[in-house]
Amino acid sequence: MMENKLDQEWYEGDVEETSGDYSFTEYDLTAAPNDFNIKTIYDFIESGVMEIPNFQRNYVWDLKRASKLVESIIIGLPVPQIFLFEKSRNKFLVIDGQQRLMTIYYFIKKRFPKRDKRAFIGRVFDKIKGIPDDILFNNTYFDNFNLYLPSDVPNQRNVLNGLNYSTLGDDYKTMFELRTIRNVIIKQNIPPGDDSSIYEIFNRLNSGGMNLKPQEIRSSLYASRFYDLLYKLNQDERWRKLLGTEEDIHLKDIEILLRAFALLIEGYKTYRPSMLRFLNNFSKKNSNIEQEKIEYLEKLFDAFLERCEGLDIKAFSSRKGKFNISMFEAIFASVCEDAFKNKNTEVSPIDNSKLKILKEDQEFFDASQSETASKKNVIKRVERAKAILLG
């Protein structure tokens, strides 16, 4: 039975953020304020121009708080600004403001999500970038969004209480639709091409107080068919058995697969730190990967898992018993290298006795324990793995 290690790390050999290859980075950013009216904001969400990251998508506001936002918009009270990160032309990732945006979206839809169904609704939204009518108008998942605005003054009723988007009346509805909210669009100019500032921006600006891991942000920033493949492979029972844990809520298991494929596809000798930038650039480069290559990589990973079926249950674990990321990616890149170069799925065999020798090899051990994301140690691990496993 797989162990669910919620209170301790189930892996090691990961120093993406703390290795010696870290350096202070200065950014040149553009922050452009734009005042969009409510109807435009709704259209942007509906069309996918504004993309709400999957790690933000769970809606947490109650009906009273959501109603207060709608009331504030109608009567002209200021609403906190929205922060967006420009992914590409006319494509923006929401950094801060998800609850406000989704309140607007739900109010215009005239439906309010039930609390115990919000995780499911979030997954649906993530998958198809919207909510289909058979879920939206299913009372199992949603209630009607009628404003809940009880009056604090006895015998004095709030005229908006109980109304919805359709019953607001022309005047209130027009006021609601034409009110504007300031949206600050942030674009990274320098360094070009790596989008690395999004990690700093999100964790410093986001008002939700979430401390996100790099892969949580990366998975939203570079959502693609390649990432769909990683999610699919991550659910393979044979892979889960090798990891020895349930799916990681912070996507560390997805990151492990990403690192392994990045070293294989880019070539370990081309690696340059930091690991964070290496994975970002690889993700961006493969965001438009061909379907034919996706299918090939799936078959290649299947062949790799078949080679692992006779291995010890802790095949990729260190002496401490934890899954070692540095060890796994080196072995994966080594045994899959020839197959990848020759565009076939003839993954090299993995022998238990040779794997034991590799784990006890002092050079491999040293390169797997400190400064594991340095260029020298990445190359050293793969070359020792090739020498021992394939020799």
List pLDDT tens digits, range 252-270: 999 999 999 999 999 999 9
Q: How confident is the model at residue 6 (pLDDT cuts 50, 70, 90)?
A: very low
Q: How confident is the model at residue 18 (pLDDT cuts 50, 70, 90)?
A: very low
Tokens (6 digits) for 291: 């379907």
pLDDT digits (tens, 9 = 90+) for 28-60: 889 999 999 999 999 999 998 998 876 555 688
pLDDT digits (tens, 9 = 90+) for 338-391: 999 999 999 999 999 999 999 999 999 999 888 899 999 999 999 999 999 998
The predicted pLDDT at position 65 comes to 96
Q: What is the mean pLDDT of residues 300-306?
A: 98
Q: What is the mean pLDDT of residues 328-347?
A: 97
Instruction: Quote the CA–CA distance of 259 and 328 in Å, as a whole number.
Output: 10
The predicted pLDDT at position 58 comes to 67
Residue 124 in this model has a pLDDT that exceeds 80 = yes
The predicted pLDDT at position 260 comes to 97
Q: Say what the pTM is.
A: 0.72
Name the more confident of 13 and 47.
Answer: 47
Query: Which residue blocks in the chain are alpha helix, DSSP H?
Result: 38-47, 63-75, 98-109, 118-128, 133-136, 170-178, 197-205, 214-221, 225-234, 237-243, 252-266, 275-285, 291-308, 325-341, 352-360, 362-367, 375-389
Tell me the three state secondary structure of residue 34.
strand
Q: How confident is the model at residue 21 (pLDDT cuts 50, 70, 90)?
A: very low
User: At CB < 8 A and 24+ separation, what contacts does 153-156 make?
Assistant: none
The predicted pLDDT at position 125 comes to 85
Q: What is the mean pLDDT of residues 126-153?
A: 91
Residue 90 in this model has a pLDDT that exceeds 50 = yes
Tell me the three state secondary structure of residue 152.
coil
Q: What is the mean pLDDT of residues 313-324?
A: 87
Q: How confident is the model at residue 153 (pLDDT cuts 50, 70, 90)?
A: confident
Q: Encode 187-202 in three state secondary structure.
A: EEEECCCCCCHHHHHH
Tokens (6 digits) for 273: 């730190």
Strand partners, 82: 183
Name the more confident of 319 and 283.
Answer: 283
The share of the chain scoring above pLDDT 70, in percent, equals 91
Q: What is the mean pLDDT of residues 101-124?
A: 92
Residue 5 in this model has a pLDDT that exceeds 50 = no
Instruction: Quote the CA–CA distance of 146 and 142 in Å, as a whole number.
Output: 12
Residue 16 in this model has a pLDDT that exceeds 60 = no
Q: What is the mean pLDDT of residues 53-79?
A: 88
Q: What is the mean pLDDT of residues 161-174?
A: 95
Contact 143, 112 (CB under 8 A): yes
The predicted pLDDT at position 217 comes to 81
The predicted pLDDT at position 209 comes to 54
The predicted pLDDT at position 89 comes to 86
Burial 54-93, CB ≥16 within 10 A → b, else e: bbbbbbebebeebbbbbbebbeeeebebbbbbbbeeeebb
Give the range with max mean pLDDT: 36-45, 95-104, 112-121: 36-45
Residue 318 in this model has a pLDDT that exceeds 60 = yes
pLDDT digits (tens, 9 = 90+) for 188-211: 888 776 677 777 777 676 555 556
Q: What is the mean pLDDT of residues 308-312?
A: 92
Instruction: Quote the CA–CA distance of 125 and 115 in Å, as a whole number.
Output: 15
The predicted pLDDT at position 3 comes to 44
The predicted pLDDT at position 110 comes to 97
Name the more confident of 141 and 280.
Answer: 141
